Amino acid sequence: MHPASARRRNAMTCLAVWCLAFGGCAVAPLTQRVNQFGGAVSTVVPPVTHAYETIEETYYDGQVAGLVVNYDKNGFKPEKIQPFLSREDLLIRTRVLDGLQAYANALRTVTSDKASDALDAATTSVGQSVLGLQEEGVLSKAFAKNVPEDAISLATAALNTLGHFLVERKRSRRLPTIISEMQEPVERLGDLLIADIGSAPDTQGHGGKGLRNQLWLAYDKLVLDQDAFIAHSTLDPIQRRQEIANLPALVRTQREADLTLQATQEAVRKLVAAHQALATKDDTGMRDGIAALMAEGKRVAAYYQGLQAHKE
């Protein structure tokens, strides 16, 4: 054998052994990728759901603070205490997230030989809940302030596809086909949640959109009301100092609540991107996408836990 050919053969043999030993040259099986994706989504959806709930609690505390500083001028008017998100609107967002979580879990069972009646029943229940969101006006009522009507229509169609998959899924179907068919619905639901969260306004209070804009402007008003209360109240020095200390505390809460929403928005973007990477042969891109998704979930958790800590 020619020496050069022998060297090439030896080099290829060594490379093959290295690949088998360290997994650096083969594309991970799709079932493995799906398990990684499902695990990542499981770490992200709970903190995102808790983030919405914590912001609602923080906003309520702000409403109470506003009531205190404006009481002498306005008295107590129960109708003025309004939630950031109503319980119904919060539940609708939770149901969308639960649908995405159930989809990620269901992907892991498609090729499994082990059936679970409990898991199947739970997945079907979530699917029926998702299908219920298609009822006329449900999404429009919950999202219309922040999301264009065409995006709501696309999201409604996406819920139909997602809900039917969860209710009617079959283990015998091929994963690549399912992932391909579900890519657009996942993107549309991601677009809905991302547009809903929106963006904070500029330093003049202009140009913001969605929940971030709503939250930021609400805290701007709380700060102005607190400042006016201090300026026009006859407080003793100790009381005055305490009320002044509330001003930076309000600003801190405003920023941290906004960062929580921003991180939630990024977590949804990363979820959509990780799903896109599922069917590719780019292991590095897939690993990076999963890592980014999990990191964003941890960031959301850190922010909402920080908000909770400041409440105590």
C-alpha 198/C-alpha 208 separation (Å) is 7
Q: 144: part of which helix (H) or strand (E)?
A: none
Contact partners, residue 276, CB within 8 Å, separation at least 6: 183, 289
The pLDDT of residue 259: 94
196: left (phi over 0), alpha (psi -120 to 50) or beta: alpha
DSSP 83: -
Residue 108 pLDDT = 84
pLDDT along the chain (312 residues), means of 10: 48 38 51 90 92 90 85 81 88 94 89 63 89 82 85 92 86 80 95 94 92 93 91 89 92 93 94 89 84 91 84 64
pTM over 0.75: yes
Burial class for 17, CB neighbours closer than 10 Å (0-12, 13-18, 19+): exposed
Strands, DSSP E only, in the chain? none
**pLDDT reported for residue 248:** 94
Rounded CA-CA distance 112/238 in Å is 67
Q: Which amino acid is at 30?
A: L
